[in-house]
């Protein structure tokens, strides 16, 4: 998948095309989306997120996708939220992302590699299990999920966003100005990703705005100068999911 150019079109002719405003403008505008993004808080919403997650992974890594047919233990752990994008028209699930902070336990990628001193002991958030619809609007949904990730990190005092991408998806993160955590190591097999090699990358929250502005990034206005009231993220709560996924564990 490709990141959006400066202008993009909605998937349906019935939806007004979304436009990212000019980089030159200074005022902050409000933009409505044809879908919402929220934090999963019940079993039905989680099942929708798991369904779109599995479908997305099945298109690209079908063998690994077999392990994603049901909720994972991590989905219900403290310090974890699952985001769900849903169509306003019919409630269809359009995309999902899981965000794990290291407030209660190490990040999932730390099962496979230790973080450098520059990140050790810092409040971090790792985005995993990103999946979007195969429809054209999926490109829009993906960018909105990344904005939600950024907003969530801001709201919760996160130092750096961390993400791991397999080739060629890692290039998308590089275009968002994420940098290699271990440039000399290249791609590293990750246990929580079926031992598939991933490129581990990070973006410091306090640096993101300046980096995007200096680079005149085509998504700068979209991330910084445009308000999206359809994105509903906020402060971290313990046990956001008040249930245990079947066959996994019970929340303490």
Is residue 239 in some structural domain? Answer: no
Per-residue pLDDT, 25: 53
Total count of domains within the chain:
1
* pLDDT for residue 2: 37
pLDDT < 50 positions in the chain: 1-23, 239-252
Residue 103: beta bridge partners?
A: none
Query: Is residue 252, in this structure, part of any structural domain at all?
Result: no
127 in a structural domain: yes
Contact 14, 210 (CB under 8 A): no
Within-domain flag for 237: no
Structure confidence at residue 235 (pLDDT): 78
CB 8 within 8 A of CB 137: no
Within a domain: 250: no
Domain membership of residue 3 (yes or no) is: no
Is 29 a domain residue? no
Q: Give residue-wise pLDDT tens across range 117-169.
A: 999 989 999 999 999 999 999 999 999 999 999 999 999 999 999 999 999 99
pLDDT of residue 27: 66
The answer for 129, left when phi > 0, alpha when psi is -120 to 50, beta otherwise, is left
CATH number at residue 39: 3.40.630.30
Q: Which domain holds residue 75?
A: 34-101+116-232
- Residue 7 placed within a domain: no
């Amino acid at each position: 998948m490709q990141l959006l150019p400066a202008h993009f079109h909605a998937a349906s002719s019935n939806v007004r095309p979304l436009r990212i405003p000019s980089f030159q403008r200074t005022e902050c505008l409000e933009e409505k989306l044809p879908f919402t993004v929220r934090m999963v808080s019940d079993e039905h919403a989680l099942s929708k997120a798991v369904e779109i997650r599995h479908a997305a992974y099945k298109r690209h890594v079908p063998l690994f996708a077999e392990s994603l047919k049901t909720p994972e233990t991590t989905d219900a752990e403290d310090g974890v939220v699952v985001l769900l994008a849903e169509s306003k028209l019919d409630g269809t699930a359009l995309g999902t992302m899981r965000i794990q902070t290291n407030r209660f336990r190490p990040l999932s990628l730390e099962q496979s590699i230790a973080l450098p001193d520059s990140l050790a002991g810092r409040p971090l958030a790792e985005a995993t299990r990103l999946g979007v619809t195969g429809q054209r609007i999926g490109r829009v949904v993906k960018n909105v999920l990344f904005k939600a990730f950024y907003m969530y990190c801001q709201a919760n005092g996160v130092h750096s966003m961390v993400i791991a991408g397999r080739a060629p998806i890692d290039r998308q993160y590089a275009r968002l100005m994420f940098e290699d955590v271990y440039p000399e190591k290249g791609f590293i097999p990750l246990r929580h990703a079926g031992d598939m090699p991933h490129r581990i990358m990070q973006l410091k929250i306090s640096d993101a705005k300046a980096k995007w502005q200096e680079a005149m990034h085509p998504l700068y206005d979209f991330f910084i100068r445009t308000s999206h009231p359809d994105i509903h993220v906020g402060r971290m709560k313990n046990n956001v999911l008040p249930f245990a996924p079947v066959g996994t564990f019970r929340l303490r």
